Amino acid sequence: MIERKGTKEMRSIEVLVLGGGASGMMAAIMAAREHAHVMILEKKNRLGKKLLATGNGRCNFTNKVQKKECYRGKDANFAWNAMQHFSAEDAIEWFDQIGILATDKNGYMYPAANQATVVLHALENELKRQKVEVKLEEAVLSVQKDSKRNDGFVVTTDQDSYVAKRVIVATGGMAAPVHGSTGDGYEFAAAFGHQLVLPASALTSIVLEGNFMKKWSGIRIHGEVFLYDQDDELLAKDRGEIQMVAYGISGIPVFQVSRFATKALKRKQTVTAQIDFLPKLSEQEIEQLFESRFREYAHGKTADEAMVGLLNHKLSDVLLKEAHISLKKPAEEITKKELLQLVKQCKHMEVCVTGSK
C-alpha cells in the first residue's frame, strides 16, 4: 500500500523492525510467522554484525545456568520475568528448528559448527523463507505517532519514510558503536515518554591512573580486585584471572565489577581499585616469604632477582618500583619498612580508576 506525505509517497508496512541484529532478526521472524508483512531497517551494510563477534566468533547463543541472581539492576525481577517467557531450553529448540545443532560447553550453548557465521546464515535463511523484507544501509532518523490515526507510526530514515502499524525497536544499546549499537533506540524510546536509566558501561575493562601500566601489559594473574568509593566503602569485588593491559586491568573479574565503577564515576565520585596479586597468601605469609627471600636466601642477589619465581618479572618490577625499591638494590639491604611496603603493593595495590573501555 502507498500513502502520500505531502508530495512524497510513503510505503505502508504492517510491522517495521528497527535494527538487524540477533534480536531484530528473531523478532522479524516471529512476526512473519504470524503472517504479518515485515520489514527490517538496518543502518550497517549487513545483518548481524555484532552477532558475529559473540563468543569470540563462536556465538554462545544461550546459557543453561539461569537464575534471578544472574541479572543486575535495582529490580532483579525486571529481567527475570521476561526470561521466564523464553528459557534456555526454548532458545535451544528454536535454533534447532532453523538448523542450528547446539553443543554444551559447561552450560554455555554454542553451535556444533563452532562458528557464529552459521547462526547468522541460518537466521538469514529463515528471514528469506518467511519473506521478510530487509533494507540495509538505511538509518532511522525518527519515529513518530501517525497523526492521521489513533494507532500506527511514521518512521523517517535517511532515504525514505514509512507508515507502520507496529514498530519493534531492536537497535541494541551503546556497547559496540562499530557494530551499530550507538544508542539510537534510547532516543526513540524517550521520544515516546519512556523513562530511561542512565546508560553505563558494564562487562568492560577498567582504565587506571598512571603511566606504569605499559610495563605490565600482557600479563595474566590469578588475583582479586576490589573497588572502593571516596568514603572507602566497598563497591564490589571479584576473584579470577585478571589481565594486565597497557591502560589498566581487564578479564572476567574486572568485567564483573566494572559497572559499579562506571556508575560511581558518572556520579562524579572518586573510585579506587585495589588489586591482590597473591590472594592465596595472607599478609603475614607474604611477609614471612619475603623475609626468607630478602634475608636467608638473598646473598649476592638484587631486589629484582629476589622476586624471581614468585610473580611474572614484569609485574615484580612494577611492584618494586611502586614500593620505592630500586630493582638493583642488594636484597640484603632492603629495610623492614621497605619489605612491608612491598607486601602492601602485592596484597593491596591501590590505583585510582579514571574510566572504562
* Per-residue confidence (pLDDT) for residue 56, from 0 to 100: 79
Tens of pLDDT, residue by residue over 250-271, are 999 999 999 999 999 989 999 9
- As a whole number of angstroms, the distance between CA 136 and CA 83 comes to 30
Q: What is the mean pLDDT of residues 157-178?
A: 90
Going by pLDDT thresholds of 50, 70 and 90, the confidence category of residue 225 is very high
* Per-residue confidence (pLDDT) for residue 61, from 0 to 100: 92
Mean pLDDT of the chain: 92
Tell me 119's DSSP state: H
* Per-residue confidence (pLDDT) for residue 338, from 0 to 100: 96
* Per-residue confidence (pLDDT) for residue 71, from 0 to 100: 80
* φ/ψ of residue 94, rounded to 5: -60, -45
Residue with cell 547462526: 119
Q: What angle do CA 22, 171, 356 make, to 5 degrees?
A: 95
Reported residue count of the chain is 357
Tell me 199's DSSP state: P
* Per-residue confidence (pLDDT) for residue 8, from 0 to 100: 62
Q: What angle do CA 152, 153, 158 make, to 5 degrees?
A: 155
- Lowest mean pLDDT, pick from 80-94, 151-165, 189-203, 231-245: 189-203
CB 357 within 8 A of CB 207: yes
Q: What is the mean pLDDT of residues 293-319?
A: 92
* Per-residue confidence (pLDDT) for residue 72, from 0 to 100: 73
- Grid coordinates given for 167: 514498530
Tens of pLDDT, residue by residue over 78-127, are 889 988 899 999 999 999 999 999 999 989 999 999 999 999 999 999 99
Per-residue pLDDT for 3 more than 80?
no
Contact partners, residue 272, CB within 8 Å, separation at least 6 = 227, 228, 229, 350, 351, 352, 353
Per-residue pLDDT for 2 more than 50?
no
CA separation, residue 169 to residues 47, 129, 143, 178, 184 (Å): 15, 22, 10, 19, 9
Contact partners, residue 44, CB within 8 Å, separation at least 6 = 20, 136, 137, 179, 180
Per-residue pLDDT for 7 more than 80?
no
Q: What is the mean pLDDT of residues 132-142?
A: 96
* Per-residue confidence (pLDDT) for residue 32, from 0 to 100: 98
The closest alpha carbon to 193, from 157, 150, 146, 144, belongs to 144
Per-residue pLDDT for 57 more than 70?
yes
- As a whole number of angstroms, the distance between CA 28 and CA 25 comes to 5
- As a whole number of angstroms, the distance between CA 41 and CA 18 comes to 5
